[in-house]
Amino acid sequence: MDLLEIYLLRNKKRRDHVVAETGISRDLLELADPDRPSYIPAEAVRAIAETVGKTPKMVQLDLKNLEREEGYKIVYDAPDLLSALEEKEPHIIIRGEFKDIFKETYQQPLSDTEQMGMDLGSGGFIRFFGDAFYRIFNLYDEDTKQKKDIESKVRKYTIRPLSEQELLLYLKQLEY
């Protein structure tokens, strides 16, 4: 669920309501990038404002506040992802073409079920010494420094698909 949908739901509306009440084309509304409120086309902002009964300026301010409140960092490429990982952002959303590149190129951390199986099967040995083995294997890996940095930092995150176009990474420590 993106920020625009969250905003509309908080105002007891949906995208369908905006289209039906204002006559704006669905395509124009889909062009709106809710994660960067300043990139929403002016016509889409006016339509949203008309639907929720606010001024266009209030809608933009509300979306910016919601973006800060939700605390999601949206990334579209490897340098942005590395920056977010280094800042230890609690929630990172990988979007666009980079989502597919990320799934194909980078090692994914084990799922919770897989990790439990490894822990049980090894008697906890893997949990304690797995990081050391990972670092030793990485010394002899020929990948780029950026790829190694991303893979090592991603291990601290849980990955969940949000939609066909998005992956959510959130810190494992937030689960406890």
Pairing of strands 91-95, 157-163: unpaired
- Note whether 81 and 135 are same-domain residues: yes
**Per-residue model confidence (pLDDT) at position 176:** 45
CA distance 60 to 152: 37
Q: Which of 17, 35, 70 is the last residue of a domain?
A: 70
CA distance 78 to 173: 23
Q: Which of 26, 54, 70 is the last residue of a domain?
A: 70
Residues 99, 150, 34: CA angle, nearest 5 degrees: 40
Contacts of the segment 140-146: beta carbons below 8 A, 24+ positions apart: 146/78, 146/79, 146/82
The rounded Cα 52 to chain-centroid distance in angstroms is 26
**Domain housing 153:** 72-175
In the beta sheet, which residues pair with residue 94?
A: 75, 167
CA distance 88 to 142: 26
CA distance 156 to 49: 40
Residue 21 pLDDT greater than 60, yes or no: yes
SS3 23: coil
Q: Which of 70, 99, 115 is the last residue of a domain?
A: 70
Model's pTM, two decimal places?
0.51
**Per-residue model confidence (pLDDT) at position 53:** 93
- Note whether 91 and 165 are same-domain residues: yes
Total domain count, the chain: 2
pLDDT in tens, 45-101: 899 999 999 999 998 888 877 766 667 788 888 888 888 889 888 888 888 888 888
pLDDT in tens, 128-164: 676 676 667 666 666 677 777 887 788 788 888 877 8
Percent of the chain past pLDDT 90, that is, above it, reads: 10
